[in-house]
Structure 1
Amino acid sequence: PLVAEIYGPDYDGQIAVAQALRRQFETTPDIVDVDDSVEAPAKRLILKVDRQRAALLGVPQASVADTLDAALGGADVTYVHTGHEKHPVPVRVELPVADKASLDALLALEIRSASGALVPLSEVIRVQEGIWDRAIHHKDLLRVTYVTGDMAGDLDSPLYGMLALSQKISSEPVAGQRLDQHYIEQPENPYRYSVKWDGEWQITYETFRDMGIAYGVGLILIYLLVVAQFRSYLVPLVIMAPIPLTLLGVMPGHALLGAQFTATSMIGMIALAGIIVRNSILLVDFIQEDVARGKSLDETVIRAAAVRARPIILTGLAAMLGAFFILDDPIFSGLAVSLIFGILVSTALTLVVIPVLYYSVRYRSERPH
């Protein structure tokens, strides 16, 4: 869901901002099931003992409290001892459930005064109306009010709803307040009204942040491994050059199938990096072996793509075929789309880009200055 957290110096002000922001949620297209954490005022009845009246009638205040406690919550008034029970059985007195909800039934209860007379509770109790205190939510020791909603329609990602609402908040005050907006962390200044976007957006951000870090670490490790293999700092860059080309297949593939780019799509891109590097290594290793045998660089570069095309294409087709079986899975469809379209485009481009780049690097390094 889409979650807006409202912070501020005054809780009543936060409630006013939350209610105004809720109206903006409701008027934003594709946002449904809007709700907030603001509780509606709830009435309550307060029973107060009239001390002067109770003293005049000889009714102790403690007796009034005990009588009400027994009527509403029940009380053990005595015990029954039988010859068949090891422990005494308590006798509990309590009003019926229907009478507990009736104020008249409570006030009709009688209590014995000091003189022995029975006095109705209505004689010594005054009924006042009040309002229950609202629950105050806190997050990391800061008072917070929530406004929530879900996305519907073709664009069901909360990111689109958040961006639409963010533009509204930036362009006009909310409940007379200019709101600071925070997307990653809570506001540092609790004395200004602000909104922190949370919910699925926060989960998405943290997931892709961690995936991006993992992707970067993976690329560094691949580079170090290829450096150790070819004993060169430049050749690994040529081998890894087709990795960005996977975007030319992954992104249009998601758009073509109407699929969202999810965390599993990112996992597919990480897997693609290894597949593409393997294909590049096959080509570069073939070229270097032929050149070492004394063949010309021009002939070897042309021959490498033709000779290595078959194993590269077959391994790519095998990976694509395996991904087809999870294409309709609601969770792993993004992984399948990334693998299928990423391998399709990058394999075709690798057969062209790697020989050309390697030829260019070798030609420049061997050309007399």
Structure 2
Amino acid sequence: MVLDVDRVKAAKLGLSAEDVVLQVVVALNSSVSVSRNFWIDSQTGNQYFVGVQYPEDVDRKLDDVMGLPVKGAGQPTPVNLGSLVTPRRKSGAVEINHAGLRKVTNLLVNTEGRDMGAVAGEITDIVKTVELPEGMRLQLQGEYGRMNDSFRQLSLGLVLAAVLVYLLQVTLFRSWSGPLVIMSTVPLGFIGVLWMLYLTGTTLNVQSLMGVIFLVGIAVNNGVLLVDFANRSRLNGTSAREAICAAASTRFRPILMTFLATVLALTPMALGTGRGNEANVPLARAVVGGLFSSTFLTLFLVPILYTIIVRKFNAVDPRLAGELGDSTTGPIVS
């Protein structure tokens, strides 16, 4: 229902179009929605809204509304609302939402028993078949939009973490090739993450991506142990192949102990035992799965890459001889 206010007649009574509409709102609802007045109980400190309203009448008709009294400033006698407005019926939305000064229509979808990404994918496929008028577009927002924003931020964080870890190793090893071999253990962890999430029926969500970021810092530890030991051995004149093989056999026990300690510590969290641990389950499962693959594949891939890369690039800076070994170390053999 739309009420068209006769502004000329209303102005003669000292009323604006807003004053007329507000008096109608007060008559149909209460003065609380227009002007909020409240009273505070001095004993209890509670506040109570104070307002006036017409008696409720479920059988109220349009003629009754048009007969509501409207009074202007300085006007002794009120006039009927029907003398100032013209009613007309119109079909339209009860509430109009705006985003960036543009009208939007919200369509709410609830999910139950299914992950949000799969439901959003099906909705996107359906939306692609709909022909929209010019100037109109469809966009998925709400929880799904926030989830996508989190994915983008976490993906950027994953890349940044990998770059920072690599640059830190370059500074410590004073070599570009050695840290490159170590960073090859990170993709090996991704293999285990995907398999663990698939086998356990866990979705790829914000928590699991956080686990992947944690995995970047954990997975490189094994590679650091192998490459550092191999570099120290090469300072004594050992060939690259013999040095990395000796590192794999010598450092196997520390690597296995670190792997077992981390996995056993995260197992209760990965199983989701106890209340309130459901949110951490994807994170723990991602880390555990990544450790499984990165730990065991590192023992095979790192020696191969180390042998190949060291033959082309000298992975040990001779200036490190005084820091990694005795000053009387032998020549470096590739």
What TM-score do you get using the length of structure 2 for normalisation?
Answer: 0.68
Contact 1:238–1:357 (CA<8 Å) still a contact in 2? yes
Hey, what does 1:355 align to over in structure 2? Answer: 303
CA RMSD of aligned residues (A): 3.9
Contact 1:268–1:336 (CA<8 Å) still a contact in 2? yes
Hey, what does 1:130 align to over in structure 2? Answer: 89
Q: Does residue 203 of structure 2 align to residue 260 of structure 1?
A: yes
Hey, what does 1:307 align to over in structure 2? Answer: 250
Q: 1:104 to 1:323 in 2, by over 3 A?
A: same
Q: 1:316 to 1:123 in 2, by over 3 A?
A: closer
Q: 1:214 to 1:102 in 2, by over 3 A?
A: same
Q: Deviation digits for residues 106-125 of structure 1, max 9, x if unmatched?
A: 89999xxxxxxxxx979989
Hey, what does 2:179 align to over in structure 1? Answer: 236
Identify the match of residue 99 of structure 2 among 105, 129, 139: 139
Identify the match of residue 340 of structure 1 among 285, 288, 292: 288
What TM-score do you get using the length of structure 1 for normalisation?
Answer: 0.62
Q: Does residue 278 of structure 2 align to residue 330 of structure 1?
A: yes
Q: Does residue 124 of structure 2 align to residue 166 of structure 1?
A: yes
Q: Deviation digits for residues 293-328 of structure 1, max 9, x if unmatched?
A: 233433322221111111111111111122222221
Contact 1:264–1:332 (CA<8 Å) still a contact in 2? yes
Hey, what does 2:263 align to over in structure 1? Answer: 320
The one-letter code of the counterpart of 1:148 is L
- For the residue of structure 1 that corresponds to 2:141, the secondary structure is strand
Correspondences of 1:67-86 after superposition (within 5 Å): 72=27
Contact 1:46–1:130 (CA<8 Å) still a contact in 2? no
Deviation at 1:253?
0.5
Relative to its length, the structure with more strand (as a share) is 1
Correspondences of 1:1-369 after superposition (within 5 Å): 43=1, 72=27, 95-98=54-57, 101=60, 130-131=89-90, 134=93, 135-153=95-113, 155-157=114-116, 159-170=117-128, 172=129, 174=130, 177-178=131-132, 192-327=135-270, 328=272, 329-365=277-313
Long gaps (5+) in structure 2: 15-19, 32-50, 70-78, 315-332
Q: 1:96 to 1:146 in 2, by over 3 A?
A: closer
**With CA pairs under 8 Å and 6+ residues apart, which has the higher RCO, 1 or 2?**
1
Long gaps (5+) in structure 1: 1-42, 52-59, 75-91, 111-119, 180-190
Percentage identity across paired residues of the two chains? 28
Contact 2:193–2:285 (CA<8 Å) still a contact in 1? yes
In 1, Cα distance between equivalents of 2:126 and 2:54: 55
Contact 2:208–2:285 (CA<8 Å) still a contact in 1? yes
In 2, Cα distance between equivalents of 1:45 and 1:301: 86
